[in-house]
């Protein structure tokens, strides 16, 4: 295996770390808005959650 830099981001380990952090942030965002009590926050991502089969009712 070679350590080829991807688009100037650095090593493969750095790219994997960045991808994992981005995935974790997305999961947190979906679950925080999914279980939020204020109606405005809940409705802000309502259609997206249902499109992803995320139960919110």
Provide the greatest CA pair distance for the chain. 50
Specify the pLDDT at position 42.
67
Overall pTM > 0.75: no
Q: What pLDDT does 23 receive?
A: 95
Structure tokens at 17: 């770390």
Are 37 and 52 in contact by the 8 Å Cβ rule? The answer is no
* Structure confidence by residue, pLDDT tens digits, 11-54: 899 999 999 999 999 888 878 776 777 777 767 667 777 777 77
- pLDDT above 70 for 3: no
């Amino acid at each position: 295996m070679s350590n080829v830099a991807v688009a100037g981001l650095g090593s493969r380990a750095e790219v994997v770390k960045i991808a994992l952090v981005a995935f974790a942030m997305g999961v947190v965002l979906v679950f925080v808005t999914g279980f939020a009590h204020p109606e405005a926050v809940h409705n802000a991502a309502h259609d997206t959650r249902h499109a992803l089969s995320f139960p919110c009712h």
